[in-house]
């Protein structure tokens, strides 16, 4: 459907206004994210899913911070701490009044938004730019405030935002893990695997 629009924000005053918005992470997100974290590289290599706890702010991985009265709560509160002062902010919108034919809930439209994100990310990488996806802009109290600041029309919803800019420091690659092919590829029927081709494909990807 390509029913998306992109608002490019590079005005310093507007970026400051958005950065000052309250953006407390939801308790549901923190708890569900916590369940996917590994405390060490060795644990992550075994689990093959999730990420290292060390890449997140302390308040995101400390259950004590989820308590509204916690001293750590202040670490979760302002978008400016998440935006990391980018030179440009892209806010990707989609038209909630339009959807792909025969796609209840616009599943196909959301798949298209994933392609938009991927293309933006690949282009940024090719230009040597850093890109930070910000999902907190969508379906949260933040969205209403950003809509007001950017004068977004009622039918347009925020899908995600991303900050772009040249990295201040060299990029350090964190450990990334992949599931083995036989963990998710099935041969002609679900739960049926062909060991020979699975081994060959795994070798080719090493």
Q: What percent of the chain lies above the pLDDT cut of 90? A: 25
Q: Which two tokens stand for residue 75?
A: 């670490």
Characterise 84 by phi-psi region: left (phi > 0), alpha (psi -120 to 50), beta (else).
left
Of the candidates 184, 143, 98, the one whose C-alpha atom is nearest the C-alpha of residue 7 is 143
Euclidean distance between CA atoms 89 and 73, whole angstroms: 26
12 HSE (CA, 13 A, CB side): 0
Residue 5 CB partners (closer than 8 Å, separation 6+)? 92, 93, 94, 95, 156
Q: What percent of the chain lies above the pLDDT cut of 70? A: 81
Inter-residue contact 59 to 82 (CB < 8 Å) = no
- Sheet with strand 130-134: strands edge to edge: 4-9, 88-95, 156-165, 130-134
- Where do the domains of the chain lie, and which CATH numbers do they carry? 4-174 (3.40.109), 176-206 (no CATH)
User: Residue 185 pLDDT > 90, yes or no?
Assistant: no
- The model carries a pTM of 0.76
Q: Which two tokens stand for residue 42?
A: 């060795």
Q: For 120-174, what is each residue's pLDDT tens digit?
A: 999 999 998 888 888 888 877 789 999 999 999 999 999 999 999 887 777 667 7
Q: For 9-38, what is each residue's pLDDT tens digit?
A: 999 999 988 888 877 667 777 788 889 999
Inter-residue contact 176 to 196 (CB < 8 Å) = no
Residue 117: pLDDT band with limits 50, 70, 90: very high
* Average pLDDT of the chain to the nearest whole number: 81
Higher pLDDT, 7 or 70: 7
Residue 71, pLDDT score: 65
User: Beta strand pairing status for 37-38 and 51-52?
Assistant: parallel
User: Residue 205 pLDDT > 80, yes or no?
Assistant: no
Residue 189, pLDDT score: 84
Residue 90, pLDDT score: 94
Q: For 36-77, what is each residue's pLDDT tens digit?
A: 999 999 999 999 888 898 887 777 787 777 776 766 655 555
User: Residue 91 pLDDT > 90, yes or no?
Assistant: yes
């Amino acid at each position: 459907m390509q029913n998306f629009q992109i608002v490019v924000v590079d005005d310093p005053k507007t970026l400051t206004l958005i950065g000052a918005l309250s953006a407390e992470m939801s308790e549901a997100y923190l708890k569900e994210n916590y369940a996917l974290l590994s405390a060490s590289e060795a644990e992550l290599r075994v689990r093959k899913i999730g990420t290292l706890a060390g890449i997140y702010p302390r308040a995101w991985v400390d259950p004590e911070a989820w308590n509204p009265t916690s001293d750590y709560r202040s670490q979760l509160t302002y978008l400016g701490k998440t935006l990391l002062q980018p030179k440009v902010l892209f806010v990707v919108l989609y038209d909630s009044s339009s959807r792909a034919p025969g796609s209840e809930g616009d599943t196909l439209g959301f798949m298209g938004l994933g392609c938009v994100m991927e293309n933006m990310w690949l282009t940024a990488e090719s230009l040597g730019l850093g890109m930070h996806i910000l999902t907190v802009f969508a379906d949260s109290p933040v969205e209403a405030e950003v809509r007001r600041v950017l004068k977004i029309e009622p039918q347009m919803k925020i899908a995600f935002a991303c900050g772009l800019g040249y990295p201040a420091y060299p990029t350090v690659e964190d450990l990334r893990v992949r599931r083995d092919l036989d963990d998710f590829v099935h041969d002609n029927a679900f739960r049926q695997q062909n060991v020979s081709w699975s081994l060959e494909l795994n070798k080719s990807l090493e």
